[in-house]
Amino acid sequence: MFLILFTVILSRIAPLVIFPLFYKFKPLENQTLIERIQAFAAKWNLKISGTYQFDLSKNTKKANAAFTGIGKSKRIILGDTLLAHFDEDEIMTVFAHEVGHYHHKHLLKGIILNSMITLVGLWFAARIYAYILQLKYFNPAQLEALPYLALIFLFYGLVTGPLGNMISRKYEFQADQFAVSSSGEADSFKNSLKKLAKLNLSDETPHPIIEFLFYSHPSIQHRLEKL
Split at pLDDT 50, 70, 90, the class of 61 is confident
pTM, entire model: 0.85
Contact between residue 59 and residue 52 where contact means Cβ atoms under 8 Å apart = no
| pLDDT tens readout for residues 155-190 | 999 999 999 999 999 999 999 999 999 999 999 999
Q: Is the pLDDT of residue 72 over 90?
A: no
Per the residue annotation, which of 88, 90, 98, 211 is the catalytic one? 98
Contact between residue 184 and residue 138 where contact means Cβ atoms under 8 Å apart = no
Dihedrals φ, ψ of 205, to 5°? -135, 70
Residues 6+ positions from 192 with CB-CB distance below 8 Å: 86, 90, 91, 93, 94
204 catalytic residue (yes or no): no
Q: What average pLDDT does the segment 108-114 reach? A: 88
Q: What average pLDDT does the segment 46-69 reach? A: 87
Mean pLDDT of all residues belonging to the chain: 91
Residue ranges of domains in the chain, CATH in brackets: 2-103 (3.30.2010.10), 106-226 (no CATH)
Split at pLDDT 50, 70, 90, the class of 223 is very high
Whole-number pLDDT of residue 64: 86
